[in-house]
Amino acid sequence: MSKIFPQKADSPLAKKFPECFLWGAATSAHQVEGNNHNDWTEWEKENAQRLSKESGGKYPPENYISGKACDHYNRYEEDFDLARRLGHNAHRFSIEWSRIEPEEGKFDDKEIEHYRDVIRALRARNIEPFVTLWHWTLPVWFVKKGGFEKSGNIKYFVRFCEYAAKEFKDGVKFWITLNEPEIYAANSYLKGIWPPQKKNLISYLQVMINLIKVHREVYIMIKKISSDAKIGVAKNNIYFEAYRNKFHNLMLKKFIDWWWNFYFLNRIKNYQDFIGLNHYFHNRIKNFKFNQNENKKISDMSWELYPEAIYYVLECLKKYSKPVYITENGLADAKDENREWFIKESLKNIHKAIAGGVDVRGYFHWSLLDNFEWDKGFWPRFGLVEVDYETLKRKPRSSSAIYAEIAKNNSINDTEQEEEK
């Protein structure tokens, strides 16, 4: 009979992460705060019935309306206490533009003070704040002006960022200007599945160009306010694999890598202090077809679980010679069957990338809490902490303890040792 004994942090099988490595989780305002009023809240109400019907009635319309969400707006101290107990020393969150500037040019002092309290609460627990300035939602007044589709609107977002940077500069060192600009542009202006639901190639390209300009201008502005601030983007990169390295697969991979993974980063390479990597997907290219994956393991959202992909994505970022923080990486797993395995295997591959010279300095699991998953609603469960949406009770999942142990030891076991008994 055999028994498995996990290795201790000082075991030769335990792979140490760099000193001062940041361990945490991520959230976004609209997905956890509750009671927002922005373009998404209006879109949800208009589309909830349709989305329910498209699910075949599996999920009722209220699944698609964010409503009170996790009530993190009122429960953030409770949630940060949980994060601290789970060994986190960093936390990524977003501030909601529509709260701070609900009407054009009118800034809400109460909401500024709220986010100042959030930052103080993190600092009081020795948790480093990573503040995202834009995580997809927009004030209704900004959308009526044409949103990011119009270059003349860039100034409004820059003004908001300047206001936030001045108000929060004493408590925030790390700023993320934009979350996954390429995902937003593709889903909102190319595929037409997110607000404002356009399917227009020109609009898509214009939004991408404007978001590049936005990042550059905000970077320059924040540096003027706080020269020691660290500023980056949260960029969604995918591991595109050319099946058997056949020529036609390689050519398609080269093109899609250039456009999806590197175009935005290339255009802002002189305007970033770090790269925030959001990573979820492996995409095998076979005979001019994408997504020809084996799907041996999948998440609740039918996304392939392929932890080795993060190694290849990180290797491709080495050329930028910038520190990398993994600002999102996770899976929907309501029963918590694969999360422990996924976290361990992902971190082993991250360690491999670090050993190969990639300057990775932190890992933020997505997400701290179960939350509202955009057009999918509440049913996907990404949280290290389970949320009962009726009572709002929080319950850490078993996998959160495994992640806590890794964070505490600042190391991951490469293998588990078997001893005969």
**Distance between alpha carbon 420 and the CA centroid of its chain, in Å?**
42
Q: 95: which 2 tokens?
A: 């501030």
- Continuous segment of H or E residues that includes residue 85: helix 72-85
CA nearest to 260, candidates 188, 316, 218, 215: 316
Pairing of strands 417-420, 2-5: antiparallel
Q: How far is CA 386 from CA 71, 127, 144, in A?
A: 13, 21, 37
Q: Which residues of 111-132 are buried (b: 16+ CB within 10 A; e: fewer)?
A: bbebbeebbebbeebebbbbbb
Give Cα 167 distance to the centre of its chain.
24
> Cα–Cα distance between 209 and 183 in angstroms, integer?
14
What token pair was written down for 185? 């542009």
Pairing relation of β-strands 14-16 and 411-413?
Answer: antiparallel
**Measuring CA to CA, how many Å separate 221 from each of 112, 159, 335?**
19, 9, 45
Q: Where in the sequence numbering do the catalytic residues fall?
A: 180, 328
Reading the chain (421 residues) residue by residue, the pLDDT tens digits are 233 223 344 555 689 999 999 999 999 999 999 999 999 999 999 999 999 999 999 999 999 999 999 999 999 999 999 999 999 999 999 999 999 999 999 999 999 999 999 999 999 999 999 999 999 999 999 999 999 999 999 999 999 999 999 999 999 999 999 999 999 999 999 999 999 999 999 999 999 999 999 999 999 999 999 999 999 999 999 999 999 999 999 999 999 999 999 999 999 999 999 999 999 999 999 999 999 999 999 999 999 999 999 999 999 999 999 999 999 999 999 999 999 999 999 999 999 999 999 999 999 999 999 999 999 999 999 999 999 999 999 999 999 999 999 999 999 987 644 333 3
Task: Determine whether 288 is exposed, middle or buried from the number of CB atoms within 10 Å of its CB (0-12, 13-18, 19+).
Answer: exposed
Chain-centroid distance, C-alpha 267: 21
Q: Which of 244, 246, 275 is nearest to 261 (CA)?
A: 275
What angle do the packed helices 109-124 and 72-85 form, to 10 degrees?
A: 10
| DSSP letter assigned to residue 258 | I
Question: CA-CA-CA-CA torsion for 95, 232, 331, 308, nearest 10 degrees?
Answer: -170
pLDDT of residue 303: 98
8 A C-beta contact, residue 109 and residue 72: no
- The sign one gets for the Cα dihedral 75, 76, 77, 79 is positive
Look at the alpha carbons of 61, 65, 68, 69 in this order and tell me if their dihedral is positive or negative.
Answer: positive
pLDDT at 420: 36
User: Which residue in 59, 99, 85, 90 sits closest to 365, CA to CA?
Assistant: 90
- Longest CA pairwise span in the chain (Å): 72
Angle between helices 109-124 and 154-168 (to 10 degrees): 50
d(CA 183, CA 189) in angstroms, rounded, equals 10
Phi, psi of 307 (to 5 degrees): -60, -25
H/E stretch holding 412 reads strand 411-413
All domains of the chain in start order, with CATH? 2-420 (3.20.20.80)
